[in-house]
Amino acid sequence: MSANKPDISERALQLLKALTERYIREGQPVGSRTLSRESGLNFSPATIRNVMADLEDLGLIRSPHTSAGRIPTVQGYRMFVDTLLTVKPLDEFTVDRMRTELDTDHDSKSLVTTASSLLSGITHLAGIVTLPRREHASLKRVEFLPLSEHRVLAVLVISDREVQNRILNVDRPYTASELQQASNYLNGQFAGRNLEEVRRSLIRDMKSDRADMDRMMRTAVEMADSALNAAEEGDDFVMAGETNLMEFEELCNPATLRQLFEGFNRKRDILHLLDQCVNGAGMQIFIGEESGYQMLDECSVVTAPYSVDGRVVGVLGVIGPTRMAYERIIPIVDATARIMGAALNPRE
Amino acid sequence: MSANKPDISERALQLLKALTERYIREGQPVGSRTLSRESGLNFSPATIRNVMADLEDLGLIRSPHTSAGRIPTVQGYRMFVDTLLTVKPLDEFTVDRMRTELDTDHDSKSLVTTASSLLSGITHLAGIVTLPRREHASLKRVEFLPLSEHRVLAVLVISDREVQNRILNVDRPYTASELQQASNYLNGQFAGRNLEEVRRSLIRDMKSDRADMDRMMRTAVEMADSALNAAEEGDDFVMAGETNLMEFEELCNPATLRQLFEGFNRKRDILHLLDQCVNGAGMQIFIGEESGYQMLDECSVVTAPYSVDGRVVGVLGVIGPTRMAYERIIPIVDATARIMGAALNPRE
DNA sequence: CGCTGGCACTCCATAATGGCGAGTGCCAGC
DNA sequence: GCTGGCACTCGCCATTATGGAGTGCCAGCG
């Protein structure tokens, strides 16, 4: 909000940092005595108490009740994350492990699943990864196969690891050679161009009543259009390790758990949240209520977009309790996003 | 175990029935006074107490502690389900709803997903449906498309709603016409035969060193073999409505929930259990520990196989607390299995 | 002989109680 | 401006009391 940074002393920030770290580690409200021992600064508990009172006035920490220690508020975590955090560099071993797991021959669905499990496995939180957007992927080829009187199979070849099927309902039977002609025409026109471009061209073609379009071409265009528009596979993101969240005292009560898991199943809210991260610049962190979804009130979400050819195509991240080890989690999410992007890039 | 049916009086069975029904409805241990009011039989609480003592000796009911009412044991539920249960006929409205939802144009994966949601939606429990086995499905056609130097796409057409892709890694480039020849050969040989037969034939062909097999045929056979053997999609069953289980008092504690959900994610145990039901004759019910999996100690599982052409191809069912409304759940699972089978059968 | 009412007993649940222990706020003194 | 001291506040925990529900057993009745 306002630039209240000058109002707050260096010492107070040090204490906020120490307090937050301790609370993240132990999960118990932190008292002045503890902090006096652990802060590094050499002050008596009484002094610490004065500073803590200031921090409380600023809304950075609060006590769950009179005469318990203090815990960070959302604003406290925010300040901690934004200005006090010293991220741990990620050890090479883990990076290697991720790279090998993600770099082995995958279609994008299984890549996403693996990434999600990796994230949850390494962080012990819940991992989420959106499926990569396809609009900018290029279409290598289209093939049509007759299935039955009123059905045609469209095969969209996007890369040598990525193929999609669409079953089209058509109004009359088509012969194999008709379909062959259609796909030849389309491949000639569109092969190598990206899906979004193709879609736009198709719409243009369908609107224009060009004289030079024979019946076959028209058929081809219409088929391609319905093939491209056929709904993408339903799940827009993949989640793993939800059960990890049950390990945390603060989330582990029936009411919270239920709210959380029902939200996960609904998918809608999570999807909304993730969508916001596609556009945001780089890594994004939502702490507690910041996300704006009640189900995530006690959680933090750390996300990073991943890109192919410098273009953001998806988002991945983790969900955990607000009291998560940000300094460890952040580099993991960051690295995963980079490796994910690399794994999606065409080889050779 | 033993035929202790004769040892137990008609009256005792009536009481067991009334007690179980009441307990399923209310979730509280049932006392003699309540039962005397509700059993229908006109006996004083004292008499009821005597009978209850007998039932307890037989291991059919137990009291959670001295001076609480009684609740059914697993054996009690078993007897209830096997011999005392009066199933409620399913209302036509629900059946219609299921039929319309399942009968609309689906590939088998989405059919399974829908069935699972339906089950969980109607029962308010967790629904599970295995993917239908394919061995006996017939192969309509195979097509190969070159993708890149070392990759070939195999398209297996199983029906006009069911198509599968396999990406094959091959050791040398193949031309489109080579692949065309291969698929022509295979289609001539195998089209219309079922997958298991095809697989067996292929193995036979590969072993025999028949003189009349030219290089092309050999290639075709090898490709088809690897296409058929490529791992089926990972998930062998689809689950829905897990969160419904959080509604139940008796399951809704962190430890139990965690065990349960981790088990669901692991999939292995559930899969094992469901496999047993494929062979079992018709509907099967596992009550509490009967399933043999600790995670399900407090749950019951009601399953029914579903079939195509009189051949069992999958299993579906629900998981809920032991204290579930069997008389309502059983016909639902049963009906779903029948409708599922119908929906999978080829139309027209 | 089987059913019943009566009675003592057991045990859970709930609330009330009081003593820690941890931590605070404030103040006076250095 | 920092510190020690002190009174105070609360949550936590174990203890205790109370009420209610339900049982087991027994003696009596039809």
The domain ranges of chain A are 10-84, 92-131+235-344, 135-231
Chain B residue with minimal CA distance to A167? B161
Q: Which residues of B touch A169 (CB under 8 A)?
A: 105
Tell me what the mean pLDDT of segment A78-103 comes to. Answer: 93
Q: Are A237 and A130 in contact (CB under 8 A)?
A: yes
Say if the Cβ atoms of A257 and B253 lie within 8 Å.
no
Say if the Cβ atoms of B262 and A254 lie within 8 Å.
no
Tell me what the mean pLDDT of segment A263-283 comes to. Answer: 90
Residue B2 confidence (pLDDT): 42
Strands B151-159 and B141-148 come out as antiparallel
What are the pLDDT digits (tens) for B328-339?
Answer: 999 999 999 999
Q: Domain spanning B92-131+235-344 has what CATH number?
A: 3.30.450.40
User: How does the average pLDDT of chain A come out, rounded?
Assistant: 88
Say if the Cβ atoms of B160 and A167 lie within 8 Å.
yes
B53 touches strand D (CB under 7 A): yes
- Which residues bind near strand C, taking a CB cut-off of 7 Å? A 29-34, 45-46, 49, 52-53, 56, 63, 66-70; B 42-47, 50, 65-68
- Say whether residue A246 is in contact with chain B using an 8 A CB cutoff: yes
Tell me what the mean pLDDT of segment B244-250 comes to. Answer: 90
- Which of A114, A138, A140, A163 has the highest number of chain B CBs within 10 A, making it the mutation to test binding with B? A163
Fold observed for domain B10-84: Arc Repressor Mutant, subunit A (1.10.10)
Q: Which residues of B touch A147 (CB under 8 A)?
A: 140, 157, 160, 163
- Say whether residue B74 is in contact with chain A using an 8 A CB cutoff: no
Whole-number Å distance between alpha carbons of B140 and B198: 11
B31 touches strand D (CB under 7 A): yes
Lowest mean pLDDT among A53-57, A214-218, B69-73: A214-218
Highest mean pLDDT among A177-191, A295-309, B208-222: A295-309
Whole-number Å distance between alpha carbons of A15 and A84: 10
Residue B228 confidence (pLDDT): 78
Residue A103 confidence (pLDDT): 87
Residue A1 confidence (pLDDT): 43
Crossing angle for the helix pair B215-229 and B195-207, to the nearest 10 degrees = 140
Number of Cβ within a 10 Å radius of residue B249? 11
Tell me what the mean pLDDT of segment A37-45 comes to. Answer: 85
Tell me what the mean pLDDT of segment A73-89 comes to. Answer: 94
Residue A20 or B182, more confident: A20
**Quick one: pLDDT band at residue A23, thresholds 50, 70, 90?**
very high
Work out the minimum CA distance from B85 to partner chain A, whole angstroms.
32
Q: Are A305 and A334 in contact (CB under 8 A)?
A: no
- Say whether residue A153 is in contact with chain B using an 8 A CB cutoff: yes
**Quick one: pLDDT band at residue A82, thresholds 50, 70, 90?**
very high
Residue A323 confidence (pLDDT): 94
Specify the residue for token string 């049509």.
Answer: A144
With vertex at residue A83, the alpha carbon angle to CA A78 and CA A87, rounded to the nearest 5 degrees, is 95
Task: Using the predicted structure, report yes or no on whether residue A209 has a pLDDT greater than 70.
Answer: no
The residues, any chain, with a CB within 8 Å of residue B136's CB and separated by 6 or more, are B194, B195, B196, B308, B309, B311, B313
Chain A residue with minimal CA distance to B233? A110
Residue B198 confidence (pLDDT): 87
Q: Which nucleotides of C are covered by protein (CB under 7 A)?
A: 3-6, 9-12, 21-27
Q: Which residues of B touch A148 (CB under 8 A)?
A: 160
Highest mean pLDDT among A78-92, B166-180, B205-219: A78-92
Residue whose C-alpha is closest to residue A106's, from B183, B71, B169 = B169
Q: Do the domains B10-84 and B135-231 sit in the same CATH topology, yes or no?
A: no
The residues, any chain, with a CB within 8 Å of residue A220's CB and separated by 6 or more, are A181, A182, A183, A185, A186
Long-range CB contacts (within 8 A, 24+) of B157-161: B157/A145, B157/A147, B157/A153, B158/B134, B158/B195, B159/B346, B160/A147, B160/A148, B160/A151, B160/A167, B161/A151, B161/A167, B161/B105, B161/B106, B161/B107, B161/B108
Specify the residue for token string 């669901």.
Answer: B264
Query: Which string of DSSP letters, residue by residue, matches A56-90?
Result: HHTTSEE-SSTTS-BEE-HHHHHHIIIII--PPPP
Tell me what the mean pLDDT of segment B27-44 comes to. Answer: 89
> Does residue A30 sit in helix, strand or coil?
strand
Residue A117's Cβ-count burial label (10 Å; 0-12, 13-18, 19+) is middle
**Quick one: pLDDT band at residue B113, thresholds 50, 70, 90?**
very high
- Say whether residue A216 is in contact with chain B using an 8 A CB cutoff: no
Tell me what the mean pLDDT of segment B193-220 comes to. Answer: 78
Whole-number Å distance between alpha carbons of A125 and B297: 27
With vertex at residue A251, the alpha carbon angle to CA B122 and CA A14, rounded to the nearest 5 degrees, is 155
Lowest mean pLDDT among A14-18, A103-107, B114-118, B238-242: A103-107
Q: Rg of chain A over CA atoms, in angstroms? A: 26
Q: Are B190 and B139 in contact (CB under 8 A)?
A: yes
Residue B137 confidence (pLDDT): 80
Asked whether the CA dihedral B189, B192, B193, B199 is positive or negative, the reply is positive
What are the pLDDT digits (tens) for A98-139?
Answer: 999 998 867 888 899 999 999 999 999 999 999 998 877 888
Say if the Cβ atoms of A151 and B160 lie within 8 Å.
yes
Residue A285 confidence (pLDDT): 96
Nearest to B155 among A155, A257, A261 (CB): A155
Say if the Cβ atoms of B163 and A141 lie within 8 Å.
no
Nearest to A157 among B105, B147, B265 (CB): B147
Residue B3 confidence (pLDDT): 44
Whole-number Å distance between alpha carbons of B199 and A154: 26
Helix %, strand %, coil % of chain A (to 5) = 50, 20, 30
Percent of chain B beyond pLDDT 70?
94
Chain B residue with minimal CA distance to A234? B110
Residue A70 token pair: 């203090």
Taking the CA atoms of residue A4, residue A9, residue A13 and residue A18 in that order, the dihedral angle to the nearest 10 degrees is: -150
Residue A288 confidence (pLDDT): 94
**Quick one: pLDDT band at residue B301, thresholds 50, 70, 90?**
very high
Residue B1 confidence (pLDDT): 43
Specify the residue for token string 């012990």.
Answer: A124
Residue B230 confidence (pLDDT): 65
Query: Closest nt to B69 (CA→C1')?
Result: D22
Residue whose C-alpha is closest to residue B118's, from B286, B293, B336 = B336
Q: Which nucleotides of D are covered by protein (CB under 7 A)?
A: 2-5, 8-11, 20-26
> Does residue B90 sit in helix, strand or coil?
coil
> Does residue B273 sit in helix, strand or coil?
helix
Residue whose C-alpha is closest to residue A196's, from A141, A131, A139 = A139
Task: Using the predicted structure, report yes or no on whether residue B260 has a pLDDT greater than 90.
Answer: yes
**What CATH number matches the domain at A135-231, 3.30.450.20, 3.40.366.10, 3.30.390.60, 3.40.50.970?**
3.30.390.60
Tell me what the mean pLDDT of segment B74-93 comes to. Answer: 94
**Quick one: pLDDT band at residue A231, thresholds 50, 70, 90?**
low
**Quick one: pLDDT band at residue B139, thresholds 50, 70, 90?**
confident
